[in-house]
Amino acid sequence: MELVLKRQLKIERYRVIAEIEKAQKRDEIHAVLLLAQEPSGISAKAIAENLLGGRPETVGKRWLKVCESYNLIEYNKKFKNYVLTDTGKESLNQKKVFPPEQGTWDIWMTDDPLWLGKLVKIEPHEESYAFLEKKDKEKLNKRGKAMKPLPTWIQESLIQQKSVTSLLDAKEDYRFGNLKGKAEKVDEIEFDISLILTIPERGKTSLVFYKGKKPYHHLAPEIKFSDIWQQLLLQRNLLESWDKNENQQVLRVTNDSLKPQEQASFLKEYTFSDPNLEGFGSFEQTTVENVPIAPVSQNDADDWGLELLLQEINRYAVQGEFRKMKNIIRPKFPDFTLNLPEQSELAQTLRDIELHKKHWYLQAPLDWNI
């Protein structure tokens, strides 16, 4: 079995004025941090001599100021040198720095429980020249008055994390500072995103987001198939019918609820109209195929076994052949001892219900004693 769950993401778009730090690989700054990790710290003179090939010390001072402005180093009075801050140590380990950039940004957010980062997309926003012309100042002022504080869930999700990657660009890392200022909610989302969560009975769960047809693969949460499956069964009032003993896990069903192909395969499909899973939210209607099934009672087992036996009667049951047919059926019902009719009894039944061809497959060998 395999559970395939789908839904559209609910996305909100906001325009904010904020200082946002975007991760960059800066080899020159990384080199400074490598020197600064020494216990005694680093000086402008050391930078000039070790990294700049003996250039003037003032150039080294400029590098110190750059690193200090990024909160990577701080002056230590004891050593009279600059040492790494916690942020600097983290940047050194990640081989990335986060230079702050003040500006206006568009951020697309989702509160979907399967995307913990919440950030879907971020990009700098620039007003068109036409909008900033004098005739549009009134619109700009109206927009300004309509601005409101960002929802709490957005502020908390972006600020509490050390760094955030967007769903549509996992290669970029961002850090958000103070986002308590007002923001403008933008109605135009511009794109749709759906997700597919696939939970196999055996193997790893997969999570794929789609923008149109383009897939974005992301790490799926740890999910136990049996937990989700039992939640689905409960929502269809089928949980009590699920038999999970050591030998087999099957759904107990009545024979009269089955189609011929389901009787033959011992597999059935079930549709769940509005699956709602604890911790993961609601999903679109889904159908689970190849659900293993077995009889719920002795009567159902006997009726089911008889249906399968009738399917086997496609040749003359000469001496010993009818027993072989029944022996094919019996192992398919390990939990029951089937009560199947004798050859003459079934032949008469088939005659009564006008299944003439199958009747003669059984009766003729009896009449001819072969």
Convert the pLDDT of each residue in 22-36 to its tens digit: 888 888 899 999 989
Residue 311 forms part of a structural domain: yes
b/e sequence 78-114, b meaning 16+ C-beta within 10 Å: eeebbbbbebbebbbeeebbbeeeeeebbbbbbebeb
Same domain membership, residue 76 and residue 139 = no
Q: Cβ atoms within 10 A of the Cβ of 64, count?
A: 21
- How many helices and strands, by DSSP H and E, does the chain display? 13, 19
Q: Is the pLDDT of residue 244 over 60?
A: yes
Residue 52 forms part of a structural domain: yes
Cα separation of 272 and 186, whole Å? 35
Cα separation of 148 and 180, whole Å? 10
Same domain membership, residue 104 and residue 63 = no
Residue 202 forms part of a structural domain: no
Residue 211 forms part of a structural domain: no
DSSP string, 219-235: PPPP--HHHHHHHHHHH
Q: Is the pLDDT of residue 103 over 90?
A: no
pLDDT tens figures, 326-354: 999 999 999 999 999 999 999 999 998 88
C-alpha distances out from residue 365 to 315, 319, 347, 359, Å = 11, 7, 11, 11
Same domain membership, residue 122 and residue 87 = no
What's the average model confidence in pLDDT over 200-215?
95
DSSP string, 36-93: HTSTT-B-HHHHHHHTSTT--HHHHHHHHHHHHHTTSEEEETTTTEEEE-HHHHHHHH
Same domain membership, residue 29 and residue 85 = yes
Q: Is the pLDDT of residue 104 over 70?
A: yes
Residue 213 forms part of a structural domain: no
Assigned token pair, 144:
């300004």
Phi, psi of 254 (to 5 degrees): -85, 150
Same domain membership, residue 149 and residue 12 = yes
Among 263, 295, 327, the domain boundary falls at: 295
- The residues with which 109 forms a beta bridge, in sequence order, are 12, 119
Report residue 16 CA to chain centroid gap. Answer: 29
Nearest to 258 by CA among 305, 304, 297: 304
Domain that holds residue 279: 224-295
CATH number at residue 70: 1.10.10.10
User: Where does the chain show beta strands of DSSP type E?
Assistant: 2-8, 11-22, 73-76, 81-84, 100-110, 119-124, 148-149, 164-166, 169-176, 182-186, 193-200, 206-211, 214-218, 242-244, 249-253, 267-272, 276-277, 281-282, 286-295
Cα separation of 116 and 114, whole Å? 6
Give the predicted TM-score (pTM) of the model: 0.81
Q: Is the pLDDT of residue 275 over 80?
A: yes
Residue 200 confidence (pLDDT): 96
Same domain membership, residue 160 and residue 16 = yes
Same domain membership, residue 117 and residue 12 = yes
C-alpha distances out from residue 346 to 304, 322, 369, Å = 15, 11, 17
269 burial type by CB count under 10 A (0-12 exposed, 13-18 middle, 19+ buried): exposed
Among 44, 64, 94, the domain boundary falls at: 94
Residue 18 banded pLDDT, cuts 50, 70, 90? confident
Q: Considering only 89-98, 120-129, 307-316, which range has the smallest mean pLDDT?
A: 120-129
* Amino acid found at 169: D
Q: Is the pLDDT of residue 139 over 70?
A: no
Domain count, the chain: 4
Same domain membership, residue 182 and residue 114 = yes
Q: Considering only 75-79, 158-162, 248-252, which range has the smallest mean pLDDT?
A: 158-162
Same domain membership, residue 187 and residue 41 = no
Phi, psi of 306 (to 5 degrees): -65, -40
Same domain membership, residue 106 and residue 80 = no
Q: Which helix (H) or strand (E) holds 152?
A: helix 152-159
Radius of gyration of the chain (CA): 35
Residue 144 confidence (pLDDT): 63
Q: Cβ atoms within 10 A of the Cβ of 284, count?
A: 13
Same domain membership, residue 187 and residue 107 = yes
Residue 130 confidence (pLDDT): 46
Assigned token pair, 122:
């971020």
Q: Is the pLDDT of residue 145 over 70?
A: no
Same domain membership, residue 275 and residue 239 = yes
Residue 131 confidence (pLDDT): 46
pLDDT tens figures, 73-102: 999 988 889 999 998 998 899 888 888 888
pLDDT tens figures, 164-204: 999 999 888 898 877 767 899 999 999 999 999 999 999 99
Cα separation of 359 and 362, whole Å? 5
User: How many percent of the chain have pLDDT more than 90?
Assistant: 66
Of the two residues 101 and 116, the one the predictor is more confident about is 116
CB under 8 Å to 248, separation ≥6 — which residues? 292, 294, 334
